[in-house]
Chains A and B, each alone.
Chain A
Amino acid sequence: MPEAAAVGSGPLLALEAVTKRFPGVTALDAVDLSVAPGRVHALVGENGAGKSTLLKIVAGAQRPDAGKLLLAGREVRFAAPRDALKAGVTVMYQELSLVPQLSAEANIFLGMEPERRGVLDRRTARARAQDALRALGAEFDPGILASDLSVAEQQLVELARALVRDARLIALDEPTAALSQVEAGRLFEQVRGLCGRGIAVIFVSHRLEEVRRIAEDVTVLRDGRRVFSSRIAAVSDAELIRHMVGRDVEYARLNAAAAPAAVPRLEVRGLTRRGHFTDVSLALRRGEIVGLAGLVGAGRTEVARCVAGADRSDGGTMLLSGAPYRPRSPREAIRRGVVYLPEDRKTQGLVLGMSVRENVTLATLERYSRRGVIRRRTEREAAARETAAVDLRPPEIEREAGTLSGGNQQKVVLAKWLLADADVLIFDEPTRGVDVATKVDLHRQVRALADAGKAILVISSELPEILALADRIVVMREGRVAGALEAAGATAERVLELALPGAHAA
């Protein structure tokens, strides 16, 4: 195999004029793509551009309406993901598809369990799983349950799954969206290792700095069409963005319009939840955006959930405009004007089977009903207004939320909480999976909310986002507050210094 990796030996995977239509949208419109072995090919584009759809076709999870797939020069037709896997094509979806109740090892061999005379050959399975995981630098035991692994570790299991199947092509759909920078760095090392074995990689991401770090080639999709392909070294970020969006986008820091109020709107003192975080104190003032930074697992989400009433704390106090505040449910928190946008849109943010409209108004339905009966027109108007504000595409409020692209699903969750008109807003990874242009736009909206007197807490694993948005940055490390920085003096290095375990607080 490694010999075949030589550059110039023809593409491993080629798409020719692949078209895929869904009711009301053409997700892919005669797209050509050519992926070389041993190289990383980045796929970028706005939310809904068709990136995930392309991967699903490559994975055999969906069938194209027209066009062909060529694998090593031969035409292939995948009727099901099974066929693609057999041909050496693995796709890692962003929402990982491991079976949580099975061990890492069982997940690795799912669907191709080694057998001897009809009985599972557990010894061979264990040995091969261990080899694959070790090759990827994993440090956990293959017998551990998938549900006990972190997102980064689960991704390693998925990669190991590809390895034991002798994958020739691995496609990664926004693999870093839920990772910390350190974890992302490790993943990139492993991806490079895979390339060294001659495996071709397709890499989807909205973060151009990552794309630049990992990829050799890049293709831009826009509205389902391929608008640009090139070697990444030959193109600038600004150019790429212009191809993606069709205009220039400026990623600038947004400053507060006025100094924040002196009195905190929300104050957290010595908050503790055993096993999750200890002695956390922070204050949010009106007109202020506070960024909560830290590695994945530092306890940021847990703090946010306690403040929002989703979990109970064991100790410490909270004050809302000076009054005692101890919500027992999200419902109570929302009543008091505190809302929480959860980090995982699929499991916590959306009812995927419901329409966009129903999702957007779920938290505020009281306002659009009279004596318990929903006033359909006002509800529709509110949903239409708010989805337009987040630039939902396609802008159809009756569409089932589950059929939207990932970034657009995130916009629906955001619209729900923008509509809530709360005083304290906690955003946990608010722009995960949202494209560059929309992200800048959403940042502007968050800033506008702050300028309108709201108190805002933003949790993000993306440092540039925190740096661009926050007036003050609180850094957590291993369940404790490691330090706080004023926006003026904050740099990525200083934040990381505080966030990394083993480092010493400034």
Chain B
Amino acid sequence: MRAPRLARFGVPLVLAGLVVVSGILIPGFMSRSNLTTILLHVSINGIITLGAVYVIITAGIDLSVGSIVGFAGVLTAATLTSGAVLHLLGPVGAAVLAGVVGVAAGAAVGLLNGGVVAWLGVAPFIVTLATMTAARGAARLVTGGIPVGYPDPSDPMQAQKIAALNALHTVGGGRLPMPGLPTGFPVPALVMLAIVALGGFVLVRTRFGRHVYAVGGNEEASRLSGVAVGRVKLATYVISGACAGVAAVLLVGQLRSGGPDAGMLYELNAIAAAVIGGTSLFGGIGTAWGALTGALLIGVLNNGLDLLGVPSFWQEIAKGVIILLAVLFDVWMKKADARRRAQAGRAAAGG
């Protein structure tokens, strides 16, 4: 009932189809190392998408996540390579603190978004458009427009800074040894799977999750039932911001630097993945599982086109077309259900 019955299988079917076709057509696609590479490439978007799904279920939208990736990323990199922090905590300690700073920075922007949406009643599109612009500006301001990270050879603390960057790299770019996988399992993918699993549990099994759906399904009925509508909305933006913060930390770890322009257009990728994964922009409908399948679908597409050697401009066009087709297929699957719903909604209550 979260998603119409048939629709729940629409996107997974497209995804499965895509994987099978790619496996047959593209040599090397089905290799374990390629499949784990896909997971790695999907993880940043997957994590941001999970946050987006929370917001969208409440009938909101968060356009600021891409800028948060840039903003939280430069703060993470700055903390990581700050002389004072390194003095005090050492490279590993600095990496931990930098991670905390990144996630907290994301959550703080989310708090701002959520606060304005929930208590001042401004439309989420406008609020997050404003923070999207402002956070990007702040990231550039902090860094003077250039990436923060890899130290100069002349830097007296060069060795410690590199050690700190390497420490965070074990998370952002690290691989866990795993039997049967010579290259190991990418840590960011593990982080994504853990976050999606946790996010799914919270949505389906907790009171808070139930309230998220209720607020998106009918805000007034929820309020009259004693749901703290404002707090629920606020929390979803904090979650979305924090997810973007996690993505920022992973990205800094992976690249060993934080650039103010990182994360450009990530918000659109996340919204696309959420919608492909069956989240309704009207609110009330969406799942963590959908966030994962949506992000995977985009990831498999990217990877397949890459392996086929399709030139990048053509890739973009092909991607657009295939995403549209996937959603159309989904709509087509939903149609029977949707028609039934529309009628029920229009007149079942009609006594």
Query: Which residues does A use to contact B, with CB under 8 Å?
Result: 22, 52, 55-56, 61-62, 93-95, 97, 173-174, 177, 204, 206, 308, 310, 329-331, 333-335, 340, 342, 345-355, 358, 362-363, 365-366, 369, 372-374, 376, 398, 400, 402-407, 409, 416, 432-433
Is residue B221 within 8 Å, beta carbon to beta carbon, of the partner chain? yes
Is residue B183 within 8 Å, beta carbon to beta carbon, of the partner chain? no
| A347–B348 CB distance below 8 A | no
Is residue B180 within 8 Å, beta carbon to beta carbon, of the partner chain? no
Q: For the complex, give the distance between the alpha carbons of A333 and B228 in Å.
A: 12
| Minimum C-beta distance from B159 to chain A (A) | 46
Mark out the residues of chain B between 294 and 351 whose CB falls within 8 Å of any chain A CB in the assembled complex: 340-341, 343-351
Contact with A along B274-290 (1 / 0, CB 8 A): 00000000001100000
A173 contacts across to B, CB distance below 8 A: 347, 350-351
Is residue B144 within 8 Å, beta carbon to beta carbon, of the partner chain? no
A–B Cβ pairs within 8 angstroms, 28 of them: A22-B340, A52-B347, A52-B350, A56-B347, A94-B351, A95-B346, A95-B347, A340-B224, A345-B349, A346-B349, A347-B221, A351-B213, A351-B222, A353-B217, A353-B284, A353-B341, A354-B213, A354-B214, A354-B284, A355-B1, A365-B210, A369-B207, A372-B206, A373-B205, A373-B207, A374-B210, A400-B1, A404-B348
A204 contacts across to B, CB distance below 8 A: 351
Is residue B227 within 8 Å, beta carbon to beta carbon, of the partner chain? yes
| B224–A354 CB distance below 8 A | no
B346 contacts across to A, CB distance below 8 A: 61, 93, 95, 97
| A362–B222 CB distance below 8 A | yes
Is residue B223 within 8 Å, beta carbon to beta carbon, of the partner chain? yes
Q: Which of A22, A93, A362 contacts B350 (CB 8 A)?
A: A93
B347 contacts across to A, CB distance below 8 A: 52, 55-56, 61, 93-95, 173
- Nearest residue (CB) in A for B230 is A329
- Chain B CB count within 10 A is highest, among A206, A398, A402, for A402
| B220–A348 CB distance below 8 A | yes
| B208–A403 CB distance below 8 A | no
Is residue B34 within 8 Å, beta carbon to beta carbon, of the partner chain? no
Given that A56-B343, A352-B218 are known contacts, is A94 also in contact with B224, CB under 8 Å in the complex?
no
Q: For the complex, give the distance between the alpha carbons of A55 and B210 in Å.
A: 34
Is residue B226 within 8 Å, beta carbon to beta carbon, of the partner chain? yes
Given that A331-B226, A362-B227 are known contacts, is A406 also in contact with B348, CB under 8 Å in the complex?
yes
Q: For the complex, give the distance between the alpha carbons of A351 and B58 in Å.
A: 13
Q: Which of B217, B226, B227, B348 contacts A354 (CB 8 A)?
A: B217
Q: For the complex, give the distance between the alpha carbons of A362 and B222 in Å.
A: 8
The DSSP consensus for interface residues of chain A is mixed
A345 contacts across to B, CB distance below 8 A: 349
| A61–B343 CB distance below 8 A | yes
Q: Which of B217, B343, B350 contacts A406 (CB 8 A)?
A: B350
| A403–B348 CB distance below 8 A | yes
Interface magnitude class on chain B: 20 to 34
Is residue B31 within 8 Å, beta carbon to beta carbon, of the partner chain? no
Is residue B225 within 8 Å, beta carbon to beta carbon, of the partner chain? yes
Mark out the residues of chain B between 60 and 90 whose CB falls within 8 Å of any chain A CB in the assembled complex: none
| A350–B221 CB distance below 8 A | yes
Q: Which of A365, A376, A398, A416 contacts B1 (CB 8 A)?
A: A398
| Minimum C-beta distance from B57 to chain A (A) | 11
- Nearest residue (CB) in B for A206 is B351
A433 contacts across to B, CB distance below 8 A: 351
Q: Enumerate the 3 nearest inter-chain pairs by beta-carbon distance, A residue then B residue, closest first.
A: A174-B351, A406-B351, A351-B217
| Minimum C-beta distance from B199 to chain A (A) | 14
| Minimum C-beta distance from A89 to chain B (A) | 15
| B344–A94 CB distance below 8 A | no
B214 contacts across to A, CB distance below 8 A: 351, 354, 358, 362
Given that A353-B284, A374-B205 are known contacts, is A331 also in contact with B1, CB under 8 Å in the complex?
no
- Nearest residue (CB) in A for B223 is A330
B206 contacts across to A, CB distance below 8 A: 369, 372-374
B224 contacts across to A, CB distance below 8 A: 308, 310, 330, 340, 342, 348-349
- Nearest residue (CB) in B for A342 is B224
- Chain A CB count within 10 A is highest, among B206, B226, B341, for B226
A177 contacts across to B, CB distance below 8 A: 351
| A310–B223 CB distance below 8 A | yes
| A409–B208 CB distance below 8 A | no
B226 contacts across to A, CB distance below 8 A: 330-331, 333-335, 363
B227 contacts across to A, CB distance below 8 A: 331, 362
Contact with A along B186-208 (1 / 0, CB 8 A): 00000000000000000001111
Given that A342-B224, A348-B220, A354-B217 are known contacts, is A403 also in contact with B351, CB under 8 Å in the complex?
no
Q: For the complex, give the distance between the alpha carbons of A345 and B345 in Å.
A: 12
- Nearest residue (CB) in A for B218 is A351
| Minimum C-beta distance from A413 to chain B (A) | 9
A97 contacts across to B, CB distance below 8 A: 346
Q: For the complex, give the distance between the alpha carbons of A56 and B206 in Å.
A: 38
| B344–A403 CB distance below 8 A | yes
B210 contacts across to A, CB distance below 8 A: 358, 362, 365, 374
| A352–B345 CB distance below 8 A | yes
A52 contacts across to B, CB distance below 8 A: 347-348, 350-351
Given that A173-B351, A174-B351, A345-B349 are known contacts, is A402 also in contact with B205, CB under 8 Å in the complex?
no
B221 contacts across to A, CB distance below 8 A: 342, 347-351, 362
Q: For the complex, give the distance between the alpha carbons of A22 and B211 in Å.
A: 29
Given that A177-B351, A374-B206, A409-B348 are known contacts, is A62 also in contact with B218, CB under 8 Å in the complex?
no
| Minimum C-beta distance from B180 to chain A (A) | 35
| Minimum C-beta distance from A135 to chain B (A) | 25
| Minimum C-beta distance from A374 to chain B (A) | 6
- Nearest residue (CB) in B for A363 is B225
